[in-house]
Chain A
Amino acid sequence: MKVAQSIRAKLEAAFQPQHLVVEDESHRHAGHAGARPEGETHFRVTMVSPAFAGVSRVDRSRRVHEALADELKGPVHALALSLKAPGEGV
């Protein structure tokens, strides 16, 4: 759970989300390119944060990529993102 924990901690610090779910989906990609036997390669993040109000889809994702630059350079092979501002629904 080490990678998931650092993802969560960094997102909480950067975005003060009202809602944050970090799911490890690595088991669904076992044997695919980028998968490691020890897992923690494929993640899905669902987050609602006021920081995203008035920000385009692409820029929301870019901000998350920036916050998680170390993870993306390292163990994380794929990061699915669902990023909303409050009131946009989850």
Chain B
Amino acid sequence: MSDPVVFDRIRQDIKDNDVVLYMKGTPVFPQCGFSAAVVQVLSHVGVKFKGVNVLTDPEVREGIKAFANWPTIPQLYVKGEFVGGCDIVREMFETGELQSLLKDKGVQVTAAAAQ
């Protein structure tokens, strides 16, 4: 069975923060190319996000996979909702859907993203 304690922590995190990225490494020092790619997209869009480093938290590393029914990391959450992993985030960024999603959900992006 899944551990409800870690699920509670995840739920709290994605409730308290509009945009959360579960990743390997930190936004400043990503330790995986796929995590780095999502950080790059988010920075380019100009959205503030919380990075959760799963490498320093084995419980969350396994828990987040069960939580989202998604076997890999990174995982992006917007307003408590699972958006996708690296491929989906990149695809949505390229089509402009990511930007629309953030806007529709009322998440603030910086002016730098306008270009």
Cα of A80 to Cα of B34 in the assembled complex, Å:
9
B84 / chain A contacts, CB cutoff of 8 Å = 57-58, 61
> What's the count of A-B pairs with C-beta under 8 Å?
34
Q: How many chain B residues have a CB neighbour from A under 8 Å? A: 18
**Given the interface contacts A33-B32, A78-B34, does A62 sit within 8 Å of B88 by beta carbon?**
no
B34 / chain A contacts, CB cutoff of 8 Å = 78
B31 / chain A contacts, CB cutoff of 8 Å = 33
Q: How many chain A residues have a CB neighbour from B under 8 Å? A: 14
Cα of A78 to Cα of B73 in the assembled complex, Å:
9
Name B91's contact: one of A29, A33, A57, A72 (CB within 8 Å): A57
List residues of chain A with CB under 8 Å of any chain B CB: 29, 32-33, 57-58, 61-62, 65, 72, 78-82
